[in-house]
Each structure stands twice: as structure tokens, then as C-alpha cells.
Structure 1
Amino acid sequence: MSTVTVTARGVTPDDVRAVARGTARVVVDDDARDAMATSRAIVDRIEADGRPVYGVSTGFGALANTQIAPERRSELQHALIRSHAAGVGAPMPREVVRAMLLLRVRSLALGRSGVRPEVAQSLVDLLNADITPWVPEHGSLGASGDLAPLAHCALVLMGEGWVRSPSGSRTDGGQALAAAGLKPLALAAKEGLALINGTDGMLGMLLLALHDAAHLFTMADVTTALAIEAMLGSDRPFQPELHAIRPHPGQALAAANVHRLLQGSAVMDSHRDDALHAVQDAYSMRCAAQVAGAARDTRDFAAQIAERELRAVVDNPVVLPDGRVESTGNFHGAPLGFAADFLAIAAAEVGAIAERRVDRLLDVTRSRGLPPFLSPDAGVNSGLMIAQYTAAGIVAENRRLASPASVDSLPTSGMQEDHVSMGWAAAVKLRRVLDNLTSILAVELLAGVRGLQLRAPLVPSPAGQAAIAAVGGTPGPDVYLAPAMEHARAVVTSPELRTQIENAVGPLS
């Protein structure tokens, strides 16, 4: 079992994935504990001096001018968590909640939140005991960060709220702590606020999405190449010198991938000198690298935003080393909301152009000799006709999801929080767009494989041969298609096909 160490410098994207999706244990190093203890000492001095400071001796949001008596400040923090745990809807996936927990530890460990080291350790204990708080989908506006989702996490630290069992059912948080031998945490001044004032939910989802998008964009190059090969398309538009004169880095990478994937193919060789072959392929084939490359560049931009946020102190107020406690707006999720929306647009277009290639593969008037709907006995059999319907329906949904959430601000908290980021919503729908893209690419994979099988006895490229082996089956009488599509989806999701192709043709970007 691997270990992720949270330091006073934070964590890495790989750390987040190892904890969210794997079994890595978490520890907090001594430097981070010292940074938190130093920060906490400043808060303790402020309390002793009796100075009014937001979140320490006052209420929250529109109640920021309400003074709280010293004997009620611990009560204030507990009440904050209970009142803010107001989410509704289906529970967020385990990986999202675990990412949130780790990222809140990361932010506290930077030593600007004024909490005791025990607070960060209590979050670590949840992770290491595999206790997953029940975090409803709806509740965050990305305003003061992900208040409601993080409050549902903090409630479990207090021995309250709900947790999600391994079977997916909802159980009592206090019972889960007791079963793991953990005690509820009693919050001191500032600590409840520090547990919920963060962008950890939207950042966690964005980090996981960035990893998924990188894989899917490479798999999109694979399915693109299969479709072009099956439709007797040309590899000439993917020559490196044609992309060097338009120097977008993602475009060059996508073109290099497709060009490499199309080499060594008897199918491609069969029509290179054919005078009847089309002078120019359709845009969905010829412009594939331009669209996929722009998506890659968009992903790289979003990754830069996420990496900056991983180094950021996201809390309010923050405790500075010189003893000042200052209110900030660093919890506002605009950077992450914009990035998630932008990446959703890019991923939606990768799916949209893939569906256009599927449609061409199935259309007897445009597929250059393939039978209608890739059925050897079209008429009695419908082949992949309805698989394209499925892809088209998903493309339509992705177009709706590509509408940005981050422009849809609504004022809250008595107009104190009069502009919110909607970053949580942007990240949630990004995850849905990528899941939908997986399904669209699965349809293109299945269609590309069937098209290549119908080109027999011509031998496809090494990439095509690997795809045929991975997908299995042969063109023939209609069968129950949903299982074949689910299998193709699993092939797209898994790294195995990419590994097999790279073993044959070299590394893909």
C-alpha cells in the first residue's frame, strides 16, 4: 500500500488520484504540523486579546457584524457545520469525496487557516479508515467555496451526519467513527469555518477529470484512425509538415498520433494510387487533428489552473505569519469554474466530430464501398443503425451540458454573497460530459472495427488489428447490441488497448 505525505507545500495531482481512486494511506509530515500549530497560536492570542475577527468572534456571511461571546464560540463552529450541511440529492461518488477530504487536509497543512493539527489529522483518519461522508450532489454554488459539500464531510468529524457504506447505503456517521475506533472532534474557534471555506470539491473533480480527459483524447485519436482507415480515407492531412505551419501544440500531437496509427495498413495502401479516390476527405476526417488538438490545448490550460490551485491557500479569513487575520476572496471558484466549463466545451466537440465519422461509416453513399449500416445483409438486419442514434442523442446532451455554468451567478446570503462562481456545477457537468464522451468513442470504436473487418481480406494497420482483437465479434446477423456497446465502452476506458497499440507502433501522446 502506497503512502501520500501531505507537506506544508501541498500535494500533487498524482497524490490526489492515488487517494481518491486507490488505496494509498495519508500522513501529515512534521513541518505541516508545525505550520498549523504556529497558525493556531495566532488565533489563540487573538481570542485572548478579545479583538473582533471574522469567523473567530463574529457570525458568518450576512451575520458578520454579530459579535459572539467567548463562551459560545465553540458552539458557533458546531452550529455552522450543522446549518451548512444542507445538501440534497444523490450522493457524490466515493472518489470525489475522498479527493475533497485530501484537498482540505492540503489547504489546512499550508498553515494559514488557524486550526490545530488535530483537525487535519481527523480528516486523515477518515481517509485511512475508508469512511466516506455522504455528500449530496446539490448544495454548492462555489461561493465561499464548496460550503455545503464540505459541511457534510465536517459533520462526520463531529460524530454526526451520514456516511456511505461500501454497498452504497447510508449509515450513521457517529456509528462509523465508533466502529473505526475514532472519537468525534470538538471544534474550537475558527475551525468549523476552516473546514468548509474551500474549493476542494470542484478542484478534486477537475483534477480527476483532467486525468480522464487526457486518456480519452488519446483514445479519440485511436478511434479517429480506425474510422479513417475503414472509410479508405487519406493519411496525408496528418503529415507533420502540414501542422508545423500552424503551430498549435495539441494539433501537432493529435496529427502525429493519427498518422502513426495509420501506417503499416494494407487497407490504406490499397487506394493510395487510385485516381478515383477523393481528392479531399470530409472535414470530420481531414480536420480531426485540428479539433482534437484544440481540445488538448484546452485541457493543458485547465491543468495549469488546477496546478496553481493546488499551491493555493483557499480559506477565509486567513492567518498571516505576521499575526494579521485578513478576510479574502480566495475561496471564490471562478478560476476552476471557467476551466471546467472550457474543458467541457472541448470534450463535447471531440464527441461531436466522432459521431459525424460514425454517421459516414454507416451511410452507404459516403462510406466508400461498405454495406449499409455495416451489415452484410442489410434490410433484414439493421447493423449499427441504432448505435449511431445513441451516439447522436449523447452528442445532443453534451451540447446542452457544454453551456457554461460559470456565467449563471445567483445572489445569496442577504446579498452579502452577491456573485457566486457555480464552479461545483461546472465540475459536475464536466464529469458527465467525459462519461458521455466515453460512450460516443465506444460507438466509433465498434463501427471502426466492423468497417475494417468488412475490408477483409485486406489486413488493417497494427492499431486496427489490436482494436479488432480487443473488441471481438464479427459482422453478421443482428445480435443484442447493448452488451457489445458496453464492452466497447470498457475497452475505451481501460488502458489496455492503448498499451497493445503502443507496443506495436510506438508511444502515443
Structure 2
Amino acid sequence: MIYLTGSALSLANVKAVIQENEQVGIDPSCLDSIHNSRAAVERIVADQRIVYGINTGFGKFSDVRIRQNDVEELQRNLLLSHACGVGPLFPEDITKVMMLLRANALVKGYSGIRLDVIQRLLDFVNADVYPCVPQQGSLGASGDLAPLAHLALPLIGEGEVRYQGKKMSALEALQLLQLAPIMLQAKEGLALINGTQAMTATGVVAYIEAEQLAFQAEKIAAVTIEGLEGIIDAFDEDIHVARGYPEQVACAARIRAYLTDSQLTTKQGEKRVQDAYSLRCIPQVHGATWQTLQYVEDKLVIEMNAATDNPLIFDEGEKVISGGNFHGQPIALAMDFLGIAMAELGNISERRIERLVNPQLNDLPPFLSPQPGLQSGAMIMQYVAAALVSENKTLAHPASVDSIPSSANQEDHVSMGTIGARHALQIISNVRNVYAIEAICAMEATTYRGIEKMAPRTRQFFNEAREIVPTITNDRMFSKDIQGMTEWLRSKEAVKTK
């Protein structure tokens, strides 16, 4: 059981929830602050103090005062009117993380929401109830309004969910769970939707996938080095220590470890003096991606434990401040950076694929074909990799450099962070396909060289991967091989050799 405190949620916790179905609860240490902030909201309503979002309208309507008898209807209307998302639904794992992160923000006790409402979010997390949340429609400030409105609607019995493998109305799911819809009270609708949890949840899932793929990319690159009889000297520790980047040093060390006792690597001057950059500069390029991943991880962990709604309640209601913690700029920049870094990981892989299949660049059979000419072999696999990395170049255009004013220019600068996070996730998916292609081609090359000469660790990877994609003895429908390898890479736990 993971207990939320609002300040200690880790990426490991998130992995446990989405990969191992770990259950989640509220830490008892949070109860007093949750109750005190709620009591503060109730006093504000009773005293008829004018406070944004409690008894006023929203956005440009912030100067419109709401009658005391209408504050509950205001919250319901907020969810219904803001649920304007379009496009495909977020995957279930991202939706689950959204609920987890929103609950974690609310238990901090700055939001004035009842304990029962937070618990209902966790009821959905623990029972694998996934609100149907369209991916498109968020500007990333004031938070992820449209996605989080869709996320919150099922709490009040509105909208749709995916539950037990079926799409159904929220009311039907609540009946199956023997739960009643929640009647929102003052500020609670706003507390549920004013935050960055759509972009952050997407970013967290993207980061988890990117980290695993980055480790796998090094192992696949090591197999390629063997397939091309690459020069091992370029990975000598002294070279990388001389530059000083710890991530580059660590990447080179992992490559050396993978290739220990290989009979397929060469020394400089033995067959050639230097390798092409796509082989020789693996630590420099992959290491730079690792630097980015560390930056992204740092920002995600902060945001996962942040209070991001508005207004925030301090000093048991003596201080209620409207601010801008919902603005997604920190995550927007991090997601753009993540997309760029992972796109580069794909770019260098595609160049290695070219070296594996191009007969002008190696001494292997042209396009790794078993019968060159009669059979095309891996020729079109390189085309696919080229198309994917080209698509990534358009997806990697930073979303955060754009802003369109909204709410009659009251909200005149926005982050577009959710767009950046969605693009980063798509880039990672594309890059995984590219590495699936590199793995297939690298295995063919090492088969020609002699798999008995491979290093023990790369040979182990080869044997496991051969269970997914057999040797190319004849042309076949290679898309199935690429898909199989991609799915295997996505599901396989990466070996994290430090």
C-alpha cells in the first residue's frame, strides 16, 4: 500500500501503481490539514466573503459574484461546461496516473476539498476505473482544465468510464461498485480541475518509457557494434573521463560491459582507423539524452508533489491567495526537451541501421538479404526507420514556444504543456519502432559474423530476441516482426547496469 502525503510520491511509486496494481491510500498525517482547509472554505461561504472560485465565476467571470444558494450548482456547472475535450482517449495508464497525481496534490491540504472527494479518486485508482478523457483541448494553463473536467465528471455520476474491459456510463460503474455519486460543494469542482495533472501524468508515463528505452538502446547499439565489427577503443574510459560528463562516462562503461569478451569487436587500425560517428559517438549522443532524462525526472518529481490549483488556502483560511501554480511552463519545457532528446536517440539509431544494410558501407550481404536481388531483405525496414525519424522532427518542434490568449484575454499566456507531453510520448513510441528495426538488422549482421563470437551479454539479448523475431531466411511480411519486437521492448524490463 502506498500512502499519499502530498510531498513524497516517487516515480517508483507510480510504476508500482500502473505496473503492479499497488493500492493507494491517504496518509493519516494529512487528515488535519485536509479538514482544516475544508472548514475554512465553509466559513468563507457562511461569512459571504468574496473569494475567487468559491463564490465567484471563473476566468473572465471572476468578478461575477455567485449567490450563497448557488455555490454548489456553480461547481457542477464548472465540470460540465469545461468537459470539452476532443480526440482519442488518453491510455488507461495515463488516466490512472492523472487520478493518482490529482489526489496527491489535494491531500496537501491547500485546496479546501472534502476528504470523501479525494478518497473517491483513490477508489477509482484502486478499482481500475478509468474515466474517459479525450487527449486534446488543454492549453496547459489554467492547468489542464478540459482533461481534468472529464476526469472528475464520473465522481458526480456524469460522463463515461472504462471498467472491467468495457466502456460504460459513470452511473453504471458507480452502481457496480456500490457507490453513490458525489454532490460537490463550494470550491470542490475547481479544486478537481485546476492543475497540471494531464500533462504531468503523460510526462511521467513518457519518462518511464523513455528511461527503459534508453537502456535498451545501448544494448541494441552494442549488438550493432558487433555486427559491424566496430572499434572498441572509442569506448575507452580515459576518453570519456577527459571530457567530464558523468552520463557519457556511464554510457561508455555500459557499452564496454556489454561487449566484454566479444570476438566481433576490433581495435583501431586492425580493419579501419576510425568508425563513423553513429558508432564512435554513441556515448556522447546517448549520454546527452541521459542528461536530459535527469533534468526531466527532477521536474516531474517536483510537479508530482506540487499544489497546482487556485486559489490556495493557507493559515486555516486566514490567507486565501489567487496565484498561478496551475501554469504548466516547467513541465512544458521539460516535455519539449524530452521529445528532442529522444528524437535524437532515434536519429542516431537510423544512421546505424543504414550502415547495417548499405553494401557500400559494410562487407555484409546487401540489405542483409539471403538472396540479394531476388529478395529485398531489410531494404524497406530502413525506409520505415527514416520515415519515423523524419516524423519525429516535426513532432519535436517545441510546443512551449506557442501561446494563444483565452478567456477574453484574462488568461493571456499559456504553456501548451499537454501538447508537448503528448508529442514526447509519440516520439518515444516512434523511436521504439526504430530500435526494433535496428535490433532486427543487428541480429542479422551478427548471424552472418558468427553468433558464437558474440559477447556473453549481447549473446543473451540475441537469444531472447530471437524468440520474438526468427532469422531472415526468406522475404516475409516484416511489419509483423517489427511490431513483435516493439511490443517486446515495451514490455521487457530493461537491464539497468550502472
Q: TM-score range by the shorter chain?
A: over 0.9
Return the alpha-carbon distance in structure 1 between the equivalents of residues 87 and 268 of structure 2. Answer: 60
Q: Which has the higher contact order (CA 8 A, sep 6+)?
A: 2
* 1:226 alignment counterpart: 223
Please tell me the residue identity of whatever aligns with 1:359: E
Aligned ranges 1:310-389 → 2 under 5 Å: 310-321=304-315, 323-367=318-362, 369-389=363-383
The residue number in structure 2 matching 1:174 is: 171
Query: What is the CA deviation profile of residues 23-59 of structure 1, one whole-angstrom value per residue up to 9, with x for unaligned ones?
Result: 2222112222221101111111212221110001100
CA positional deviation for 1:291: 0.7
- What pairs with 1:33-432 in structure 2 (closer than 5 Å)? 33-167=31-165, 169-268=166-265, 271-272=266-267, 275=270, 277-321=271-315, 323-367=318-362, 369-432=363-426
Deviates more, 1:63-72 or 1:473-482: 473-482
3-state secondary structure, aligned to 2:373: coil
Q: Distance in 2 between matches of 1:310 and 1:352?
A: 31
Contact 1:470 1:491 in 2 (8 A): no
Q: Which moved more, 1:226-235 or 1:336-345?
A: 226-235
Tell me, yes or no, if the aligned pair for 1:295 and 1:347 is still in contact at 8 Å: yes
Q: Distance in 2 between matches of 1:440 and 1:468?
A: 17
| 1:502 matched residue in structure 2 | none
CA distance in 2, matches of 1:478, 1:391: 18
Distance in 1 between the 2:189 and 2:87 partners?
A: 23
Shift in Å, 1:80 = 0.4
| Superposition TM-score, scaled by structure 2 size | 0.96
Amino acid at match of 2:41: V
Aligned-partner Cα distance in 1 for 2:54–2:247 = 48
Aligned partners of 1:131 and 1:161: how far apart in 2?
13
Distance 1:59 1:475 in 2: 65
Q: SS in structure 1 opposite 2:63? A: coil
Whole-Å Cα distance in 1 between the matches of residues 141 and 337 of structure 2? 19
Q: In the alignment, residue 508 of structure 1 is paired with which amino acid?
A: T
Letter matched to residue 131 of structure 1: V
> Match of 1:14, SS?
helix
Structure 2 counterpart of 1:336, one-letter code: I
Per-residue CA shift, 1:149-196, capped at 9, x if unaligned? 1111211111111112443x5321111111110111111111110000
Q: Could you list the runs of 5+ residues in structure 1 that have no partner in the other structure?
A: 500-506
Deviations 1:413-472 (A, max 9, x none): 110111111111111111111111111010111111100000127611113312321222
Mapped to 1, the partners of 2:473 and 2:402 lie a distance apart of 49
1:442 maps to what in 2?
436
Q: Give the equivalent residue in structure 2 for 1:30.
A: 28
Q: Specify the SS of the correspondent of 2:25.
A: strand
Per-residue CA shift, 1:229-271, capped at 9, x if unaligned?
1111101111111011111121111111112222211222xx4
Counterpart CA distance in 2 for 1:52 and 1:475 is 72
Please say if residues 87 and 149 of structure 1, whose CA atoms lie closer than 8 Å, have aligned partners that are also in contact: yes
Q: Counterpart of 2:474 in 1: which secondary structure?
A: coil
Q: What is the CA–CA distance in structure 2 between the aligned matches of 1:73 and 1:493, rounded to whole Å?
A: 47
- Matched with 2:497 is 508
Shift of residue 280, structure 1, vs aligned partner: 1.0
User: What letter matches 2:438 in structure 1?
Assistant: E
Does the 8 A contact of 1:164 with 1:171 survive in 2?
A: yes
Judged with a 3 Å threshold, the aligned counterparts in structure 2 of structure 1 residues 285 and 114 are, in CA distance, closer, same or farther, namely same
| Partner deviation per Cα, 1:196-220 (whole Å, 9 max, x = no partner) | 0011111111112222111111111
Q: Which residue of 2 aligns with 1:504?
A: none
- What value does the CA root-mean-square deviation take over the aligned residues? 1.5
**Separation in 2, partners of 1:191, 1:393:** 47
Structure 1 residues 451 and 179: CA distance shift in structure 2, 3 A? same
Shift of 1:494: 3.5
Distance 1:246 1:273 in 2: 20
Equivalent residue pairs, number = 494
The whole-number CA distance in structure 2 between the counterparts of 1:458 and 1:206 is 41
Q: When the two structures are superposed, what TM-score results if normalisation uses the length of structure 1?
A: 0.94
The percentage of aligned residue pairs carrying the same residue is 40
